Amino acid sequence: MFEIFFTHLDIDISDEQKDLYMQYMTADRKARIERLKRREAVVKNLLAGLFVARGIEAAGFHYDPCDIYIGEHGKPLVLEDKYYFNLSHSHGLGGLVVGDKNCGFDVQKDIEKYEKIEKRVSCENELKVLESVDPGKKSRLFTLLWSAKEAYLKYTGDGIRKELTIIDTSPLLKEAVNHLLEKNNENDRINTEIVVGGERLHFTGGLIPEYNDHTFCLCTEEETKEIKVTMWRAKELCQKKEK
């Protein structure tokens, strides 16, 4: 089972809170925070680390910052594979997935200016689906395409080091055209299987409750029949961790 959490990371915190939250940061995040000069960037990084700690605990796992390390290409990993998680953020909105299987997760605000990169990152099958929809819905569909590719790359841990056109997300896009775009329902999700590099993977995509100009996509080894989604206010997140 996977649990997905969303929260807004654009709030300010006191110096006292900053000192309190540092104890929950991993060694990598602590080092990153210490290098930052702008207060806004420091706060955002602290809240992201706090969000990870709180989400892991809420999903039923024991959080110890010493268990988390960074893989070869920047993916956060957990000692002995005790659990898996993936963090993403877009325009101040943070998204986190936690589960007992490997996963990749991405959150994206609708990409309005996609024309310059559309053909560079899309394969022929994807371009056909994009061209089949009304212009007003194309931005949302391209955002899902981009989010699915990001989720796959975060699943593998490779980051954007692969040619993006080899990832054919057209089966997911077709599901979106038939179910997601027409209803525009933030509670609807689409699921489909996609073969990438000879591996059968499952992709789950949808709109984000209360932020339906944002799309999320989850990439997993197995079909995710049960996904719990929780929305947290940033202030609520801070209060919970301080108790």
Per-residue pLDDT band for 163 (boundaries 50, 70, 90) equals confident
pLDDT at 111 over 80: yes
Q: What percent of the chain has pLDDT over 70?
A: 93
Per-residue pLDDT band for 187 (boundaries 50, 70, 90) equals low
Please list, in sequence order, all residues whose beta carbon lies within 8 angstroms of the beta carbon of residue 217, skipping any fewer than 6 positions away.
105, 106, 144, 147, 148, 150, 151, 172, 203, 204, 205
* Residue ranges covered by each domain of the chain: 1-101+223-243, 102-221
Condensed to tens digits (0 to 9), the pLDDT of residues 7-52 reads: 988 888 899 999 999 999 999 999 999 999 999 999 999 999 999 9
Q: Taking residues 73-84, report their average pLDDT.
A: 93
- As its CATH architecture, domain 1-101+223-243 has Alpha-Beta Complex (3.90)
Condensed to tens digits (0 to 9), the pLDDT of residues 194-217 reads: 998 889 999 999 888 788 789 999
pTM summary value: 0.92
Question: 58 is written with which tokens?
Answer: 């809420």
Phi/psi class of residue 74: alpha, beta or left (left: φ > 0; alpha: ψ in -120 to 50)?
Answer: left
| Nearest to 4, CA basis, from 187, 241, 220, 216 | 216
Domain spanning 102-221: CATH 3.90.1560.10: no
- Can 1-101+223-243 and 102-221 be said to share one CATH topology? yes
